[in-house]
């Protein structure tokens, strides 16, 4: 399956990219599993952001939430607006 991955703020800078579309291996079903796989594929910075936050299809998500074909998954540090 294919998902669109977005990175923001310090994570975007550390990875040197703001988005990528990736074909995920079989059996990858949750945000947590996606993070483990991405970290093993050269995106270790995901593991180094304190209190990493994520959103699936533009809604805040939990690590156990599912990732499905065509989803937009975003990773970012805690928000600091206002």
User: Which spans of this chain sit near another protein (rule: CB under 8 A)?
Assistant: 6, 8-10, 12-13, 51, 55, 58-60, 74, 76-82
Structure tokens at 21: 């579309």
CB of 56 to another protein, least distance (A): 10
CB-nearer residue toward another protein: 1 or 9: 9
Nearer to another protein, 19 or 25 (CB): 19
- Report the b/e string of 43-77 with b at 16+ CB within 10 A: bebbeebeebebbbeeeebeeebebeeebebbbbe
């Amino acid at each position: 399956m294919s998902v669109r991955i977005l990175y923001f703020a310090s994570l975007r800078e550390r990875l040197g990219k703001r988005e990528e579309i990736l074909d995920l291996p079989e059996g990858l079903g949750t945000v947590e599993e996606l993070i483990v796989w991405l970290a093993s594929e050269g995106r270790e910075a995901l593991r180094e952001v304190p209190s990493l936050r994520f959103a699936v299809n533009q809604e805040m998500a939990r690590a156990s939430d599912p990732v499905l074909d065509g989803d937009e998954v975003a990773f970012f540090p805690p928000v600091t607006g206002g």
